[in-house]
Amino acid sequence: MRMGEGVEWGLHCCVTLGWLQDRAPVPIRRLAAWFDLPQEYLKKRLQPLARAGILGSGPGVRGGWSLARAPEDISVIEVVTALEGPLEAFRCTEIRRRGEGARDAGPEFDHLCGISTVMRRAELAWRRELAGQTIADLMAKAPDGAARTRRNYERIIASATD
Amino acid sequence: MRMGEGVEWGLHCCVTLGWLQDRAPVPIRRLAAWFDLPQEYLKKRLQPLARAGILGSGPGVRGGWSLARAPEDISVIEVVTALEGPLEAFRCTEIRRRGEGARDAGPEFDHLCGISTVMRRAELAWRRELAGQTIADLMAKAPDGAARTRRNYERIIASATD
DNA sequence: GAAGGGATACTCGGATACGCTATGTCCGAGTCGGACAGG
DNA sequence: CCTGTCCGACTCGGACATAGCGTATCCGAGTATCCCTTC
């Protein structure tokens, strides 16, 4: 089981955009150079976050990306769900109903499959953990990050040839 | 993010083998027909469970598959880990250290990445849920399953041409 | 009747093929802001 | 100086290409059990 790398990218971008809120919007070109990521593909991964109302983007020469809400109002699970989709990792296909083992089952299958129930409960615990953390919490976990980010961003803007 | 279907297959096979412990070992041919699954591929997915000491298999005309331990001693997380691998779903690649944003970071990066920490804690909650459930618990969740399974298995054995 | 050898039914492990999804790239269309020309 | 037009920068969305992994199948080798032959 593997989570796409877009989740790591998206979360780091949200945190960085939170630190640069007063310098937003940040063009995708700067954002990609910031983490040394492929620009086109990063853009493709951020678009679902805009559709989910987490990020905002604008065209034009002063366009770019920014947080669409306050960092306190964006939970980690929202970012993960927007990037990985709403479906659960474990998907019950009801194999218990198929084949020779399913004959004459009676009302037994009216109940939810026990395996499905257990897996679902585990995923709920996982989601609950991620729902309890926000972008603001992540920003607070790296107290030096805000200063470093703003300092480096100023320098890049100043040395830019454009 | 998606879990392979082998997890569902493996768990159902473990539960069924728990109910058929006194009729074990069960050949892969019967197990595949039991759930209407592709025989060769099911075999391939059960092999890691044998390597993990969860299932046992034996060759020969009386060979087949059986639980290697008591159902109470097999946790769901063991089955999942054997089939999906021990790696976590979220893998931190430390993109914070790369690119223009990482310049002059100082001792900030000595600490674990906050994003990585949050994701890891969520996965631990997920594992903890699955570690608290055993194959015996799953068997108990379907009280009618034991009788149905034994009844159908007897019938199949009796009607077999071999 | 006992020992030896072959047939059978199963497992194991590796090799191979296929398809889906994640990853990565490219291009045309649309939009915003600024530059520039004309009144 | 004001207004209208054009241009450049940037985004969006879709189309397309590539790679990796999950899915699926097949085959040869090994082994335990059973049966049959032979003594």
B129-156: pLDDT as tens digits? 999 999 999 999 999 999 999 999 998 8
pLDDT at position B162 over 50: no
Nucleotide nearest residue A63, measured CA to C1': D10
Strand D contacted by B35 CB (< 7 A): no
Nearest-neighbour CA in chain B from A48: distance (Å): 15
Distance from the Cα of A22 to chain B's closest Cα (Å) equals 17
Q: What is the pLDDT of residue B63?
A: 86
pLDDT of B52 strictly over 90: yes
Overall average pLDDT of the B51-77 stretch: 92
Using the structure, give the distance in angstroms from the CA atom of B57 to the C1' atom of C4, rounded to a whole number: 28
pLDDT per residue as tens digits for the range B90-136: 999 999 999 999 888 888 899 999 999 999 999 999 999 999 999 99
Cα–Cα dist A42/A64, whole Å = 13
Own/partner contacts of A74-78, CB < 8 Å, gap of 24 or more, are A74/A14, A74/A134, A74/A135, A74/A136, A75/A130, A75/A131, A75/A132, A75/A133, A75/A134, A75/A135, A76/A11, A76/A130, A76/A131, A76/A133, A76/A134, A76/A135, A76/A138, A76/B118, A77/A127, A77/A130, A77/A131, A78/A52, A78/A54
Residue type, B126: W
Contact B90 A121 (CB under 8 A): no
pTM of the entire predicted model? 0.92
How much of chain B exceeds pLDDT 70, in percent?
Answer: 98
CB atoms B138 and A123 under 8 Å: no
Please say if the pLDDT value at position A162 is more than 50: no
pLDDT at residue A6 is higher than 50:
yes
Q: What digits encode the pLDDT tens for the residues A33-49?
A: 999 999 999 999 999 99
Q: What's the mean pLDDT when you consider all of chain B?
A: 92
**CB contact (8 A) between residue B151 and residue A8:** no
Residues with CB under 7 A from strand C: A 4-6, 38, 40-41, 44, 58-63, 85; B 2, 27-29, 43-44, 46-47, 50-51, 57-61, 63-65, 162
Q: Which fold would CATH assign to domain B5-159? A: Arc Repressor Mutant, subunit A (1.10.10)
Residue with tokens 């768990």: B11
Cα Dmax for chain B = 76
Interchain proximity B84–A1, CB inside 8 Å = yes
Task: Tell me what percent of the residues of chain A surpass a pLDDT of 90.
Answer: 81
pLDDT of residue A160: 64
Give the nearest chain B residue to A101 (CA atoms): B34
In this predicted structure, what is the pLDDT of residue A157?
84
Q: What is the pLDDT of residues A51-74, one digit of tens each?
A: 999 999 888 888 889 999 999 999
B-chain residues near A1 (CB < 8 A): 1-4, 84-85, 89
Residue B77 has pLDDT above 90, yes or no: yes
Domain positions in chain B: 5-159
